Chain A
């Protein structure tokens, strides 16, 4: 920092930080107000929060073992059916394990795979998209072509192909989903940065002596982050369905770890005898994904109505 620095800068980070914090606080308060006006969206958010809590405290809120059962108790019907008991509210599966316990533990897999794969997609897609959109040139050219290539594969077949070659498992599953998932965030951020980089505040920051990376991180990205957040929420539900589909096919999370997709698959062999084994894990997927989508679409309407035209 030189002695010739303009007065605005000498007041220092403290000043800009305070304004920024105040703006963020106002944005959060406004979001809270908008959510309060939309009880449905709020409800969706609360359901998602409930699932997250259930995943975290699965050990505390369940009384049965999720992976070990008693064969004597196999195919106990749900509590309200004849022969059912409230000890096993949704009944038991082919190995005599309590279905509700396994569904609660299955929340962990769905949310962990969903959040991790979306999180990695967001990080990679945002970073590459910002660089490509800001610097243009050969980097943009290469990344955009690669993104187009990945778009030529339908999502499921790509993930299935990658899983077939990598083998099943938690890490591979997240990698397979993120390997294609980043493309959408890349395209979104690249487009937004392309539009932002010519605006006056960017020129201003450059005149004030900020470096390129600082401009991207502290000037441009804060204006893009809302759209990324909205898209991330909407993709979360999709990733959860993808995880469930892969686990259903036997390519994702392997038994005996409870995952909703593989639980539905294991019930397929006993449809005639025990309808509940497949039905309830599927309902859990449906409930969680509906809640996420309601919350995501609500957020989109509040934060970023432009995204609506897909």
Chain B
């Protein structure tokens, strides 16, 4: 039964992805000017014949709905077009940058959880205490703060003033590292390379804190309010009446139920981290997907922008799908 429901939920994402592809297809049609001129970039040394050839090659001489058909067929086969500026298929370009993005996402998630879990739990258990008030004020600042500015302040303090942590890049140039997965922290553990591990962790620290702080604020607020709700419920009173220790009441009985809404929020945030961050990577010159897209925008590399927006949206949809499925396992009461 469950498998059928999950399959149904998976199938509902298909029309959404289809729609995403159509919207992305029309993105390039919003642009003033001829798509071939745009795809060729600023290079002027192209003859009219070559342009006609390209128009034919991209089916631009055919009606719009036929073009859409070709675009969807290509996208379904994993062909997202070709970047003329970088002379590479868009898919390859995106794949190259993916490990750096995943590494940063994991780093940010790790930071946000080690901040948010204790704060969320403690401020619910000690509601209205000084700790609660201070941490909720902190969380309030966290959700109101623009990420790029926090990044710059951290650079000013840790990199410029204290000179403790590097402000840019993924690893220092002096360190040699053999790439396996493309995620430097994991690669340096796999190759037992201590200097590389230290260097890559140091480089990961500031971007992760910058990204993680905002996420931590959101998670802490949600965890606190759902803990408060759970702690008021009857079965917590029962657990206390049975004589369970406070630790057991909070960590076993209350936390498990309070985690359900929290997991949804964490999942949504992973989607946002993977699929929507170009600000922090720009501040720290982190060579992830976000940086690639920002560069692509300034190079007017439209096939690459188009492909990246599509990949971002699909990642976002898939993360939400995974969250929904996880949800049913966490809370047997909920069916999809």
Which residues does A use to contact B, with CB under 8 Å?
145, 148-149, 152-158, 160-166, 237, 241, 244-245, 248-251, 261, 264-265, 267-268, 271-272, 275, 278-279, 282, 285-286, 289-290, 293-294, 308
Contact = CB atoms under 8 A, between A and B. Distances in A.
B75 to A, nearest CB: 15
Interface stretch (B27-35, B57-65, B123-131): B27-35
Contacts of B316: 152-154
Nearest to A163: B297
Interface in B263-313: 271-272, 275-279, 282-283, 293-294, 297-298, 302, 305, 308-309, 312-313
A160 B305 CA distance: 10
Given A145-B19, A294-B140, A157 B152 contact: no
A303 B205 CA distance: 42
B153 A282 contact: yes
Contacts of A161: 24, 27, 305, 309
Contacts of B147: 245
Contacts of B66: none
Interface in B140-156: 140-141, 143-149, 152-153, 155-156
B92 to A, nearest CB: 20
A137 to B, nearest CB: 19
Contact of A271 (B30, B160, B293): B160
Given A145-B19, A166-B30, A237 B144 contact: yes
The 6 tightest CB contacts between A and B, nearest first, are A154-B276, A282-B149, A289-B144, A149-B19, A161-B309, A290-B144
A131 B307 CA distance: 35
Nearest to A161: B309
Contacts, number: 129
A141 B317 CA distance: 20
B244 interface: no
B309 A264 contact: no
Q: Which of B19, B141, B313, B317 has the most CB of A within 10 A?
A: B313
Interface in B13-62: 15-17, 19-20, 23-24, 27-28, 30-31
Nearest to B274: A154
A210 B319 CA distance: 47
B275 A249 contact: no
Given A154-B272, A271-B160, A282 B146 contact: yes
14 contacts: A149-B16, A149-B23, A152-B20, A156-B276, A157-B278, A157-B309, A161-B27, A245-B147, A245-B148, A265-B148, A282-B152, A286-B146, A290-B144, A308-B225
A65 to B, nearest CB: 25
Contacts of B275: 154, 157
B23 A156 contact: no
A267 B24 CA distance: 34
Given A152-B313, A282-B146, A157 B156 contact: no
Interface string B307-334: 0110011001100000000000000000
Contacts of A248: 146, 148, 279, 282
B149 A249 contact: no
B312 A264 contact: no
Contact of B141 (A157, A261, A286, A308): A286
Given A145-B15, A157-B308, A248-B282, 11 more contacts: A153-B20, A153-B309, A157-B313, A163-B297, A261-B148, A264-B149, A271-B156, A279-B152, A282-B146, A289-B144, A293-B144
Contacts of A249: 278-279, 282, 294, 297
A308 B155 CA distance: 35
A248 B20 CA distance: 27
A155 B276 CA distance: 7
Contacts of B16: 148-149, 152
A182 B19 CA distance: 18
A38 B149 CA distance: 30
A148 B225 CA distance: 27
A149 B14 CA distance: 11
Contacts of B283: 268
Given A157-B276, A157-B278, A294-B140, A286 B297 contact: no
Q: Which of B28, B145, B279 has the most CB of A within 10 A?
A: B279
Q: Which of B20, B271, B309 has the most CB of A within 10 A?
A: B309
A290 B30 contact: no
A245 B140 contact: no
A27 B72 CA distance: 54
B305 A164 contact: yes
Contact of B28 (A158, A165, A237): A165
